[in-house]
Structure 1
Amino acid sequence: MFYGGLLVAAPALLALLGVFVFGLPQGRWTVVVLATVVVLTLMLARWHRRRAIFPLYTLSSLIEALRQGDYSLRGASDSVLGDMIDDVNRLAERLQDERLAFEESSYLLSKTLAALDSAVFVFDQDRRLRLMNPAGQQLLDADKHRVFGLRAEELGLDALLNAPSSQAVAHAFPGRSGRFEVRRAPLRSGGRGGQLLVINDVGRVLREEERLAWQRLLRVLGHEVNNSLAPIQSMADTLASLAAREPLPDDWREDFRSGLEVIGKRAGALSRFLSGYSSLARLPMPQKREVDLAELVGKAARLQQRCAVEVEPGEALTVHADPDQIEQALINLIRNAAEAAPAAGAEVRVRWRCEEARVLIEVIDNGPGPPRSDNLFVPFFTTKPGGSGIGLALVRQIAEAHEGGVSLTTREDRPGAVATLWLPVASAQAVTRA
């Protein structure tokens, strides 16, 4: 600005300098010189005004646009205030990017909340409703515009806001009743507190899982029962048609005897199947105590009579478990391995080891390997003729009761299967060898 003012005053300064050096002109030249100085001064003043004042107007407009929330305006920087206008332009670009990111995040949050099955409510420090997703709207059975701003007690949610977090409660809402999991957390926005309330209908989830479990159970039960009833009905029809013949054939006694034998076998298989189901349903809680793992494995291996079972020496361990249940689980795994192994050259081995936080007991065979199915541990599912489908399901139930698990995988070195029963390391201790 200083240099601009100096430039405006330059004609007058030059005229004064000329008068000082050459003296004041005489006659009409005095008027001409003074007029020229005045015109040049006015022109320079106008030019300086346009160069200095207009950028100020531009800067003022940009700042007003920012104040109004309009970040799209930009100013030209080819002026005396170019650096300042550049800074304002960069600020506007940054604010525009931040607003775009905020709008995208808000859109993503709204879509996420809308897709949640859980009801989400946000209350301010006065416990007035400020945010609600569609699941919450369905739970309250009310239009969101009508309930926004209402207090928690007016919505019937005051007791849930006062209840401990992460608990399941029975509650009746206007839109639904049942058992719900309630979670809440404190919020803070703009220096003020608030409450986040999340309500999840666990009853509906459990009912859906129960329905799917019943469907799987009935599918397997129907398959197994039909496998027994179909030959029984067929043989009964055959015997009935045979008995209706006149006269009876000479070998009717033998036909009746073989037919009744088939009916008896299938009825016995069905009875064993239902008995296995009863044993699976009545499995008691494990009575845990310290048990020598090597002794337990050796005892289960000796009970297998179909083929010899090799027990590989391993680390001396005691397992804090129910010996009867773990022995039954090992018996089932070893029996499955022996039945899968070929009659000639059967190979069944049992070994154990500690690995990270688990104690693993592995039963290895040289059979064809496990079938490709996700239902191996589903009760009553079996791929063996005459099988009950109880063994692996019972093993898994026993393992999970001991906070462990079971898996059945294919051998990597050769054909065969590896059944692995594992217990958490907290349930086992190393024994000091004598």
Structure 2
Amino acid sequence: MDCQIIACSVRDIRFPTSIGLHGSDAMNKQPDYSCSFVELKTDSQYIGNGFTFTVGRGNEIVCCAVEALSKLVVGTKVKDIFNDFSSFWRRLTSEDQMRWIGPEKGVIHIATAAIVNALWDIWAKIEGKPLWKLITDMEPEKLVSTIDFRYIRDVLAPGEAVEILKKMRNGKTKREEYILREGYPAYTTSCGWLGYPDEKIRQLCKEALAKGFTQFKVKVGSNIDDDIRRCQIVREEIGAENILMTDANQKWEVQESIDWMKKLAKFKPIWIEEPTSPDDVIGHSTISKALKSYNIGVATGEQCQNRILFKQFLQMGAMQFCQIDACRLGGVNENLAVILMAAKFDVPVCPHAGGVGLCELVQHLSIFDYICVSGKIRVIEYVDHLHEHFKEPVVIRNGYYQIPVAAGYSSDMKEESLNQYEYPNGTIWQELSTAGVAKKD
């Protein structure tokens, strides 16, 4: 572990998912799923990979932010980082000039996530463990030492976090054995993209059922009549016994959210995801209270900027399902903080996934949550896109994530894919540009 980081590189990787309207929702109608892909080289055999997720244009801005932050990483010994990770994390998020363009939110924060995720990938590779195993094997005090508790001590102090972890030691081995044997349940969003025609939705539901999925999410929010029709289609296909979720991707005003969901309540969705602005804590609280009698919870967190906003959502009863994101927050460290806070408020953690590599990352966090924090099986989002570009892609069997065993954070992408999809000069983008299908920005 006595190696030094000698280089940090970042590549703008984009996939033309807009062509098939994959990932389309009420707010993001034609996304090109993308990532800012980071490689941290050391003076040893270890290389750490990490990334953050975007939906196309603007990915180059995140890459610029990574380059700006890289000066704080290159030249550092990894043991110095891992021996006091919370201080190093604060150094990244509180650089006295770059902090101004955050702080701890927006482009600069998701760029931080890409670097931090790469650091955890190095640590897990050095220890020869998958990320989930690295953090579940840590002593509580060591794990808690990686978290920056600034601004959340009024809700969760370090000593309290240690006690949560120590309390859950009982039965830990059995839970690990169980999850390795059974896997972790997934819900699918791949059937319900807003841009898909009705016939495709029906067919995809049938295919997902045949693969063992029992939980389905539908994108809503553009037209109430369309939403009623599409929810009806999905409910007809999946039956009354299976679970339905809905997702508005921040489209509505507060009262509009309540009124719209009352009309969809007959389809018995268990949650409405991101009904309004991701920053509106009081608005989400109002919606939560109004929909409680309809047995519809509010799920949010996909674009929740940091642990401080999560703290407020939990304090206000503004989320019934906590949707951490492996790349929106500042990497593993900040996600650990939110998982522990959610446990204190007894709010289930059901991560946002999909995108580019998000499924690969969040599976590790949910496994940790089950083994070490909540002791309860929740559910992870699954989207059947772009996994083929990863060296260790997620494996879904009978609607369950299979537990990763390779050392690292499952974040290594294939060199061939990086070369094909690097924007704008990768071979795929050159071909699309020549054919007039895609234009360079």
TM range (shorter): under 0.3
Q: Which one has a bigger Cα radius of gyration?
A: 1
Higher strand fraction: Structure 1 or Structure 2? Answer: 1
User: Which structure is higher in helix share?
Assistant: 1
TM-score by length of 2: 0.20
TM-score w.r.t. the length of structure 1 is 0.21
Higher relative contact order (CA 8 A, sep 6+): 2
